[in-house]
């Protein structure tokens, strides 16, 4: 139905031309779901924008043919393209809330498309828009018709985006990272919906994603892209069990999955023996009846509802939950960036919650509890170098100066595998993985006893994530630190944590040793989370 032949796309930038896509060919048959998988910068999204001819300014198709049902999309006039977009080929995007016009009722946004493609008249547009809402399984569709995007949840917004895309019953749907930023249970609901609709309507689909696991679950066939080229193309099972290209193999290895260990995420040549970890039986941190209440519009909102747990010295505890579960609030209270409304945080037999967070920087235990932040870019001062970031806690808390300080910074950089020349660079001159290393080096500079890791790999590509996770386990063994690992990704928690807590709406709903909680989940919510996580086929490469 769709065939792309030798497509290449270039962007004009100030550093000259960048070839985002360098001669790729692929086909999508009627009713088939094709996955395009790649890490950031692989050119996977650009490919789809190019075939829809909605490239950003400066982007241009250089060579190749795109043929859809016998129509040459590259040669088609802009007017013809507008008829094709939304009518024959539709697209859904990541970040669904931003993808909707914020000041137009969602029902009207669907009507705009229906009327544009003559699928509805002014008279029956509303009826048909509501039918489109029903088709994406929105409850109470007639009431939602009048809603504005900001009144709806992220998952609901994505359903609206899908309703817009499918309103005119196109024959090909391009889904560009449709679930990035959504919670894992919402992700499953959205993907199931799209999959079912595609099957029911015999619609072809291109699923663009960075998540090999997700692609393998929903696609008939997968192409793997790297640096603007297709490196491999196969059915999912084959791709996982017998990857041909070295890059695919690396990607398959690095995808966290059942049965994998931390070391097997790395390419074989980088695998060293697993470090020996010692967990002691004395508690380092005891959290008791911790409550956080925020003033809300309609009365106070309890973000954390009186939770209690322990972390033993040397232990790694996973804190799992979806957005709004209170896991970030909990970690911020423990690291003393926020004050709890009530409850105790007993660290090394001392209640540190008694010292207000505004004064905690002078507390002798400040050095013992540190944190690695979720977004490495955001956590580095744009106006400071990598060395300055790492040196900050040493200079402020230890009063270290001069050559001693720079020697220690160099030592820390070495420890986290950051090449020395990069120390003088500013954050915008570093890659995501390098910024993550700087953040880790800063957090361990004072040799804390407890390190809080707030989704430290959420923004990273999977191959970088594998390296960072391995670095974290090595550091833990080397320095005897305890971890509180906050994450939404169960597959990652399984790899890194001895015990796990599952939080939902401010409460701990499930807890226990990681293997036990994950393999034989007792709580229905835990089970739902585990089932929602995409599970790639077992690979033989491991």
Partner 1 sequence: MADMTAPETPRAPAHQGDTTLGHIAYVLRDNPVTLLAFAMLAFFLGCAVFGPALVPYDPLATHAARALEAPSWDHWFGTDNLGRDVFSRVIVATRLDLTISVAAVALSFALGSVLGSIAGYWGGWLDAVLNRCLDTIMAFPLFVLAMGVVAALGNTVENIIYATAIINIPFYARLVRAEVNIRRHAGFAQAAKLAGNSDLRVLAVHIFPNALPPMMVQVSLNLGWAILNAAGLSFIGLGVRPPTPEWGIMVAEGANFIVSGEWWLALFPGLWLMLAVFTFNLLGDGLRDIVDPRKRT
Partner 2 sequence: MSPRAKMILGRVAQAIPVILGVVVISFVLTRALPGDPAAYFAGPAADAESIAEIREALGLDKPLLQQFFYYVGDLARGELGTSLTTGQTVLADLAARLPASLELTLVALLLSCAIAIPLGVLAATRPGTWVDHLCRVLVTAGVSMPTFFTGIVLIYVFYYLTGLAPSPLGRLDFIYLSPPHVTGFYLIDAAVAGDFETWFGALKQLILPATTLALFTLAPIARMTRAAMLSALSSDFIRTARAAGLGSRKVLYGYAFRNALLPVVTTLGMVFSFTLGANVLVEKVFAWPGIGSYAVEALVVSDYAAVQGFVLAMALLFVVLNLIIDIAYALIDPRIGLN
Q: Which residues of the shown chain bind partner 2 in the complex (CB under 8 A)? A: 52, 54, 57, 81-87, 90-91, 93, 95, 98-104, 112-113, 116-117, 148, 150-151, 161, 164-165
3-class secondary-structure state, position 149 = helix
Distance in Å, CB of 200 to partner 1, minimum: 30
From partner 2, partner 1, none, interface partner of 85 (C-beta below 5 to 8 A by class): partner 2
Binding to partner 1 by residue 292, rule CB under 8 A? Answer: no
Among 243, 318, 433, 506, binds partner 1 (CB under 8 A): 433
Distance in Å, CB of 460 to partner 1, minimum: 9
C-alpha distance across the termini of the chain, in Å:
37
From partner 1, partner 2, none, interface partner of 80 (C-beta below 5 to 8 A by class): none
Binding to partner 1 by residue 382, rule CB under 8 A? Answer: yes
Residue 83 tokens, joined: 């008829």
Per the CB < 8 A criterion, the answer to whether 444 and 415 are in contact is: yes
Number of CB atoms found within 10 A of residue 266's CB: 18
From partner 2, partner 1, none, interface partner of 151 (C-beta below 5 to 8 A by class): partner 2
Q: Which of 205, 105, 118 is nearest to 160 (CA)?
A: 105
Q: Which of 359, 269, 342 is nearest to 307 (CA)?
A: 342
From partner 1, partner 2, none, interface partner of 84 (C-beta below 5 to 8 A by class): partner 2
Per the CB < 8 A criterion, the answer to whether 500 and 507 are in contact is: no
Binding to partner 1 by residue 212, rule CB under 8 A? Answer: no
Number of CB atoms found within 10 A of residue 527's CB: 13
Eight-class DSSP state of 187: H
Among 2, 4, 7, 20, binds partner 1 (CB under 8 A): 20
Distance in Å, CB of 94 to partner 1, minimum: 8
Nearer to partner 2, 83 or 310 (CB): 83
Nearer to partner 2, 276 or 297 (CB): 297
Q: Name the region of 181 (left: φ>0; alpha: ψ -120 to 50; beta: rest).
A: left
* Site map (CB under 8 A) of partner 1, residues 108-147, x = contact: ----------------------------------------
Distance in Å, CB of 301 to partner 1, minimum: 18
Residue 229 tokens, joined: 């080229």
Per the CB < 8 A criterion, the answer to whether 433 and 467 are in contact is: yes
Binding to partner 1 by residue 396, rule CB under 8 A? Answer: yes
b/e per residue, 435-452, with b = 16+ CB within 10 A? bbbbbbbbbbbbebbbbb
Binding to partner 1 by residue 484, rule CB under 8 A? Answer: no
Q: Name the region of 480 (left: φ>0; alpha: ψ -120 to 50; beta: rest).
A: left
- How far apart CA 220 and CA 396 sit, in angstroms, is 56
Distance in Å, CB of 322 to partner 2, minimum: 21
Range in contact with partner 1 (rule: CB under 8 A) among 44-52, 151-159, 189-197, 259-267: 44-52
Among 430, 440, 471, 481, binds partner 1 (CB under 8 A): 430
Among 88, 177, 232, 498, binds partner 1 (CB under 8 A): 177
Per the CB < 8 A criterion, the answer to whether 36 and 206 are in contact is: yes
Binding to partner 1 by residue 436, rule CB under 8 A? Answer: no
Per the CB < 8 A criterion, the answer to whether 363 and 355 are in contact is: yes
Residue 472: phi, psi to the nearest 5? -65, -40
In the complex, which residues of this chain contact partner 1 (CB under 8 A)? 11, 13-15, 20, 39-46, 56, 177, 210, 227, 335, 337, 358, 361-362, 366-367, 370-371, 373-376, 378-383, 389, 392-393, 396-397, 422, 425, 428-434, 439, 442-443, 461, 464
């Amino acid at each position: 139905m769709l065939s792309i032949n030798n497509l290449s796309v270039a962007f004009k930038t100030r550093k000259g031309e960048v070839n985002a896509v360098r001669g790729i060919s692929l086909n999508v048959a009627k009713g088939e779901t094709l996955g395009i998988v790649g890490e950031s910068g692989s050119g996977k999204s650009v490919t789809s924008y190019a075939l829809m001819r909605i490239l950003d300014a400066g982007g241009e198709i250089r060579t190749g043919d795109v043929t859809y049902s016998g129509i040459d999309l590259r040669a088609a006039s802009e007017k013809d393209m507008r008829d094709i977009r939304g009518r024959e080929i539709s697209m859904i995007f990541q970040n669904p809330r931003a993808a909707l016009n914020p000041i137009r009722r969602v029902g009207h946004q669907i009507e705009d498309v229906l009327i544009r493609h003559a699928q509805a008249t002014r008279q029956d547009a509303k009826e048909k828009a509501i039918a489109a809402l029903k088709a994406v399984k929105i409850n109470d569709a007639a009431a939602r018709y009048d809603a504005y995007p900001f009144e709806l949840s992220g998952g609901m917004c994505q359903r609206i985006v899908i309703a817009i895309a499918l309103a005119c019953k196109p024959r090909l749907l391009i889904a560009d990272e449709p679930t990035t930023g959504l919670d894992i249970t919402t992700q499953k609901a959205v993907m199931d919906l799209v999959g079912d609709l595609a099957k029911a309507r015999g619609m072809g689909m291109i699923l663009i994603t960075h998540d090999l696991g997700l692609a393998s679950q929903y696609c008939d066939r997968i192409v793997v892209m790297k640096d603007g080229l297709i490196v491999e193309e196969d059915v999912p099972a084959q791709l996982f069990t017998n990857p041909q290209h070295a890059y695919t193999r690396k990607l398959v290895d690095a995808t966290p999955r059942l049965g994998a260990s931390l070391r097997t995420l790395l390419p074989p040549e980088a695998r060293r023996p697993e470090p020996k970890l010692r967990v002691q039986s004395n508690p380092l941190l005891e959290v008791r009846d911790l409550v956080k209440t925020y003033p809300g519009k309609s009365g106070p909102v309890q973000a954390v509802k009186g939770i209690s747990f322990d972390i033993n010295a040397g232990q790694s505890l996973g804190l799992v939950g979806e957005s709004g579960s209170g896991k970030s609030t909990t970690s911020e209270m423990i690291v003393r960036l926020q004050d709890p409304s009530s409850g105790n945080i007993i660290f090394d037999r001392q209640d540190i919650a008694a010292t207000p967070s505004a004064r905690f920087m002078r507390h002798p235990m400040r050095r013992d509890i540190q944190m690695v932040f979720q977004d490495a870019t955001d956590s580095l001062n744009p106006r400071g170098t990598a060395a300055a970031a790492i040196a900050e806690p040493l200079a402020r808390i230890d009063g270290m100066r001069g050559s001693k300080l720079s020697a220690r910074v160099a030592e820390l950089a070495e420890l986290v595998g950051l090449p020395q020349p990069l120390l003088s660079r500013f954050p915008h001159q570093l890659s995501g993985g390098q910024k993550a290393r700087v953040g880790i080096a800063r957090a361990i500079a004072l040799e804390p006893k407890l390190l809080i890791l707030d989704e430290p790999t959420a923004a990273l590509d999977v191959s970088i994530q594998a390296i960072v996770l391995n670095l974290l386990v090595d550091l833990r063994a080397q320095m005897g630190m305890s971890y509180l690992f906050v994450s939404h990704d169960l597959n990652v928690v399984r790899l890194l944590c001895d015990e796990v807590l599952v939080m939902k709406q401010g409460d701990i709903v499930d807890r226990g040793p990681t293997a036990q909680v994950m393999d034989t989940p007792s709580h229905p919510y835990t089970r739902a989370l585990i089932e929602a996580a995409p599970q790639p086929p077992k690979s033989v490469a491991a």
